Structures are given as C-alpha cells and as structure tokens.
C-alpha cells in the first residue's frame, strides 16, 4: 500500500464543537470548522462530523487567491470575504509597543467591524457545517473563531486554549504554504516565522476588546449592527 503524504490534507483543521460555555452547556459539533486553506486534491480530514462542509468562508485577500477557483466550489457554497483588504484602508489607532500580532488583531476589530458582523451572519445562516479558513488558519481565522465562541459564552481559557492549538501544527502549515507561497501585502518570507507563533497576548487583546462591552462579544456585535434576534438564534444553533 502506498504511503500517504501527510501534506495532502488540511493540517490545522478542527471542529469548534465541545467547547465549555458555562452552566453545563457546550458548543455543538458539526456547526463550525476552522482550518488552513484547502488545496486541490486534498484527502478528507479525519475526525470531522461531516465532510465536505455545506459552506466555506474564505478570509484570504485577492492577492493570495488570484483568480483561482476555490478547491471546494463543487461541493460547498463558497463565500469570499477579503477581511484584510478593508483593514488596509481603515484609519485605526494602535499601540506602537504592542506585539505585531496584537496590532494585527486590533486592526481587524477596529478596521473591519462591519465585515466581522457580515461573517457572523454568513455563519449563522449556513445550512450545515461551515469551514472558516484563511491561509494558515491562525490569525484571521483565530479572530473570527474567538468572536463566534465568545458570543455564546465560551470560557476565556477555552478560547485561548483553542487558539494556541495551532502552534503544534505550524511546521506542517508552513510546509503546505510553500506549495502556494502567496503572502498578504506587507508580509515577506523573512517575517513569516515570527508571525506564525500564537502568543496568548494577541488573542487576549481580542477578548479584552469584547469584554469592554456589556454582554461581552454579544455587546460588541450588537454595537456594530447585529440584532438581538440574530444573537439569540446563534446561541440556539451553536449551543447544546
């Protein structure tokens, strides 16, 4: 039997089900998957309740994707949301002393809040599991995942633990990125390894920004246009 190539499948993919949300509630499996970017010809990932997903949310910029068709177009509804392209045009205030990733995550929250609400709605309305991914499945995907988890009350320590899980997968992620080495604007190859870490301070800054609002991430989403009815439906959909 031929040996399988460990790089011919997603290497940073996981189901966001099973996360503790307090009062005995947990997030429902098979609703949201997070991962790195799929490649044409990938094998089905293991331990997914259902694959392929019904929908895909691709957060990469146009410079990363070019005019190539998404590998899952034939089996899923694909939504492309150019998250960082909007951020690049926004006027944001950042702490010059902050870690590079902390600054990036804060620029996403400050520069693209309406787009994050759009992302929330796409996930809410997905008719089946939705795969959320960027290139590595770490930064843009990490911010969105933290928002979705926090909006149903998942514990802060659990959100941070999910975020840092990516660290163990980064060597293979980098190997996969070398197959398709397009990088976002402003990121060169020498910066990649520093940016590929998962410092807890970066995701903590996101959770702190949510915590500044009454009702946390729900309040943050509400302040940028999400409705009470949408937030209620999200809890019903994502919580067991």
The tens digit of pLDDT for each residue in 193-212 reads 555 667 899 999 999 999 99
Other C-beta atoms closer than 10 Å to the C-beta of 62 total: 10
* Residue 9 lies inside a defined structural domain of this protein: no
Cα–Cα dist 203/187, whole Å: 20
* Residue 184 lies inside a defined structural domain of this protein: no
User: What integer pLDDT is reported at residue 22 of this predicted model?
Assistant: 85
Other C-beta atoms closer than 10 Å to the C-beta of 83 total: 25
* Residue 225 lies inside a defined structural domain of this protein: yes
Cα–Cα dist 93/120, whole Å: 24
Mean pLDDT (the chain, rounded): 90
* Residue 229 lies inside a defined structural domain of this protein: yes
- 154-160: average pLDDT: 97
SS3 (DSSP) at 49: coil
Q: Give how many domains the chain has, as a whole number.
A: 1
User: What integer pLDDT is reported at residue 182 of this predicted model?
Assistant: 52
CATH of the domain at 225: 3.90.190.10
- 86-99: average pLDDT: 71
| Residue 235 scores a pLDDT above 60 | yes
Q: How far is CA 188 from CA 82, 98, 125, 133, 182, in A?
A: 19, 20, 36, 20, 10
* Residue 179 lies inside a defined structural domain of this protein: no
Cα–Cα dist 37/66, whole Å: 14
Predicted structure pTM score = 0.90
Partners of 130 in the β-ladder? 32, 55
Q: What is the dihedral of CA 111, 99, 94, 133, to 10 degrees?
A: 0
Cα–Cα dist 120/52, whole Å: 20
* Residue 57 lies inside a defined structural domain of this protein: yes
77-149-121 Cα angle (round to 5): 40
25-26/20-22 β-pairing = antiparallel
User: What integer pLDDT is reported at residue 20 of this predicted model?
Assistant: 98
* Residue 189 lies inside a defined structural domain of this protein: no
User: What integer pLDDT is reported at residue 1 of this predicted model?
Assistant: 46
- 20-34: average pLDDT: 96
The pLDDT tens digits for 81-90 are 999 988 876 6
* Residue 2 lies inside a defined structural domain of this protein: no
User: What integer pLDDT is reported at residue 88 of this predicted model?
Assistant: 74
Q: Helix 228-238 and helix 113-125: axis angle, to 10°? A: 50
Residue-number span of the structural domain to which 82 is assigned: 14-39+47-174+194-233
């Amino acid at each position: 039997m031929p040996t399988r190539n460990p790089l011919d499948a997603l290497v940073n993919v996981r189901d966001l089900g099973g996360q503790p949300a307090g009062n005995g509630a947990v997030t429902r499996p098979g609703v949201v998957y997070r991962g790195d970017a799929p490649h044409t010809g990938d094998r089905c990932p293991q331990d997914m309740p259902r694959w392929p997903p019904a929908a895909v949310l691709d957060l990469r910029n146009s410079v990363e994707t070019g005019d190539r068709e998404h590998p899952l177009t034939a089996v899923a509804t694909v939504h492309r949301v150019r998250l960082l392209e909007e951020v690049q045009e926004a006027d944001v205030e950042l702490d010059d002393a902050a870690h590079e990733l902390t600054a990036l995550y804060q620029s996403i929250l400050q520069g693209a809040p309406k787009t994050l609400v759009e992302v929330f709605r796409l996930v809410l309305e997905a008719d089946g599991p939705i795969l959320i991914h960027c290139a590595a499945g770490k930064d843009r995907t990490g911010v969105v995942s933290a928002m979705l988890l926090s909006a149903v009350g998942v514990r802060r320590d659990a959100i941070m633990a999910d975020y840092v899980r990516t660290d163990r997968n980064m060597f293979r992620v980098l190997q996969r990125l070398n197959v398709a080495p397009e990088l976002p604007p402003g990121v060169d190859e020498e910066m990649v390894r520093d940016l590929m870490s998962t410092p807890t301070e970066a995701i903590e800054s996101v959770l702190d920004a949510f915590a500044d609002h009454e009702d946390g991430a729900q309040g943050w989403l509400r302040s940028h246009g999400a409705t009470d009815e949408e937030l209620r439906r999200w809890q019903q959909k994502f919580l067991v």
